[in-house]
A and B are shown apart, each in its own frame.
Chain A
Amino acid sequence: MEVFASLSEGFDIALTWDNLLFCFIGVTIGTFVGVLPGIGALATISLALPLTFHLDTMAALIMLSGIFYGAQYGSSTASILLNLPGTATAVVACIDGYPMARQGRAGVALFVTAITSFIGGAVGIILLMTAAPVIARAALGFGAPEYFTIMLLGLVAASSLSVGSPLKGYVMILIGIALGFVGVDANSGQMRFAFGNHNLAEGLGLVAIAMGLFGVSELLASIGTTRAANPPGGITFRSMLPSREDVRRSGGPTARGSLVGFVIGALPGAGPSIASFLAYALETRVSRTPERFGKGAVEGIAAPEAANNAAVQSAFIPTLSLGIPGDAVMAVLLGALMIHGIAPGPHFIADQPEMFWGLIASFWIGNLLLLVLNIPLIGLWVRILTIPYHILYPVILMLVCFGVFSVRNNMTDVYIMLGAGVAGYFLRIYGYPAAPVLLGFILGPLMEEHFRRSLLMARGDITVFFDRPISAILLAITAFIIIIPMVGWIRRKRARQLAPH
């Protein structure tokens, strides 16, 4: 089997001391920020990005990815113990996890989430291993028009599937693309939007923008609202062991949750939060005893936890096989690849097989490490929940400032971060999602280049995007995604007009 040969080479790379160490650091940091409410995986990855400039590309990728999937493991801890989700993906875990804790079954709930997280993650990795190389091979024939339309589809899907108003999502994408204009235009060599400031020649830094939008604005939103809590102590290993009944009930939900998570995670924009919601909804439908949900049903934590962990693994499929990030975390990882001089796209797996398979192998190792971190060491994480936020945020603020400055030892980046942070805070308050800005910022320059190249090739004939079959299909799907919510909106409006006051 070709896959196993490649994977064993991957393990040779991932099992070197350096890579093992950074995998461990990554998943540990991930669990830490996953457990803590008020700081998420995205902020942490942006924070860690400048630090990884000092590492080699492989170690950097392994560590950043570890933070991402590690945070999924930690995130349900606070949901179960405190009814307070550690990250947005763990909202669903509150519904049945907290009632379980109230019934004195917190240990069982934590154990079940750790195991189902691992199973979901494993299913995700297996499918990622098999699907990504196939998709990449199919995409090798893509020309500039296909790239342009698939990126367009990715952007539109990512902003309209996310929560809130699609119009606000679209405008944030466009703002992200506009931010990408700053600096020297790759094609004409002309400086754009720099206003005579030579510090802006290289463009606005990804780290500064990401840290501002997600780090600083997160701080602003959390100060004064996030409180340390008193979680129940005394979770012994004995109290964690599930009964035979629990195991029997969890089997089906875990399997269904993994598959739902995998499919949703691979779609652009849908991500782990939506995956866990859908998995939970599915369980309440197929269950013979739906009345038990919301009152501490073990199925209600098994399915969503399997789903969000499968989703974070399959989110790597479009990123690694096509170079199209499905969400903001993947966009930052893609940015990290580009900063390290690697061009993402269908050629990535063929050109850098050792990097792709090394990363996959590190996922296996990381998920095993997480199982150890989350079962025997769970008491440690519970204690972390008691760290008060007024100690935490000055530390985060310091890391953010020094981190951004250290990228190129230039204070301009700190001012850019501050601007992005304050703007991001206001936008967040008024319901504008920040993640699409980052997607637009990273994909914008690539799209401009592919758009220019497509038209050059077609001598200015705009129909080139409709003439090529794959490109036409992608455009049709894009149009479909834009139009569907509009139809619903018009229908609602009409219903309102018809209805008597």
Chain B
Amino acid sequence: MRSWRSLATQQRLVALMVAIGGAFVVWEGMRYSFGTLARIGPGFLPVVIGIGIAAIGLALVARGSDVETEQGPALRPLILVTGAILTFAVALERFGIVPATVAMTLVAAIAEPRVGVRSAIAIVALVLAIAVGLFHFGFGIPVPLFRWPA
């Protein structure tokens, strides 16, 4: 398992994913008409650009590691911030502005390890006040403060 954790391996994996992404762009681009040089079609540039991405990706796989990476990803913020945004996305239109904001902020607050209950409540209150003030009263987004799902 150790080799998976080495940064050089991670570097190669990311480069490989870039190359696969390029191949995907080519594959999807081939479904559109390529056209001729005088009249290039909607598939022309996707194929050309996709080949470019795949080629550079492969070159980066071959090169392997470089010195630019200092440390791998920090998983705790990654999971919690992703969770907070997903919470917001799922809750906003179903339950309204207030529940979505409170839930999102609570999830986000635990991303920093040293936040106690009292300061978490204070943070939620602050965020809620700004959200309601700015987006409900200010810009008037078409979502109610509360909504009971039918």
A residues whose Cβ falls under 8 Å from a Cβ of B:
51, 54, 164-165, 167-168, 170-171, 174-175, 177-178, 181, 185, 187-188, 190, 192-193, 216, 219-220, 223-225, 389-391, 393-395, 397-399, 401-402, 405-406, 409, 411, 414-415, 417-418, 421-422, 425-427, 429-432, 448, 451-452, 455-456, 458-462
Does B149 reach chain A (CB closer than 8 Å)? no
Complex: A411 Cα to B36 Cα, angstroms: 39
The A-contacting residues of B in range 40-57, CB under 8 angstroms, are 40-42, 45-46, 49-50, 52-53, 56-57
A422 touches B11 (CB 8 A): no
CA distance A224 to B53 in the complex (A): 33
CB–CB B130/A395 < 8 A: yes
Number of chain B residues close to chain A: CB under 8 A: 71
Q: A174-B22, A394-B108, A432-B14 are in contact. List 7 more A-B contacts (CB 8 A).
A: A171-B52, A190-B33, A192-B28, A192-B32, A219-B81, A398-B130, A451-B40
| Chain A CB within 8 A of B98 CB | no
Known: A216-B85, A455-B38. A167 touches B59 (CB 8 A): yes
- Max count, chain A CB within 10 A of own CB: residue among B49, B111, B143: B49
Residue positions of B touching A, CB distance < 8 A: 10-11, 14, 18, 21-22, 25, 28-29, 32-33, 36-42, 45-46, 49-50, 52-53, 56-57, 59-60, 63, 66, 68-69, 71-74, 76-78, 81-82, 84-86, 88-89, 92-93, 101, 104-105, 108-109, 111-115, 119, 123-124, 126-127, 130-131, 134-135, 139, 141-143
Residue of B nearest to A445 (CB): B45
| Contact in complex: A460, B38 (CB < 8 Å) | yes
Q: Known: A171-B60, A188-B42. Is A393-B108 also a contact (CB below 8 A)?
A: yes
A-side contacts of B33, CB under 8 Å: 188, 190
Q: Which 3 A-B pairs have the closest CB atoms?
A: A460-B38, A431-B68, A460-B37
Report whether A185 and B42 are in contact in the complex, using a CB–CB cutoff of 8 Å.
yes
In the complex the two chains form, is B56's CB within 8 Å of A170's CB?
yes
Give the most central of B73, B86, B141: most A CB within 10 Å.
B73
Which chain A residues border B108 with CB–CB below 8 Å? 393-394, 397
Chain B residues contacting A167 (CB-CB under 8 Å) are 56, 59-60, 63
Most buried by B among A54, A175, A459: A175
Q: Are A401's CB and B57's CB within 8 A? A: no
Tell me whether A193 and B28 are in contact in the complex, defined as CB-CB below 8 angstroms, given that A165-B68, A411-B89, A430-B68 are known contacts: yes
On whether A430 and B11 interact (CB within 8 A), knowing A224-B76, A451-B40, the answer reads yes
Q: Which residues of A contact B45 (CB under 8 A)?
A: 177, 181, 448, 451
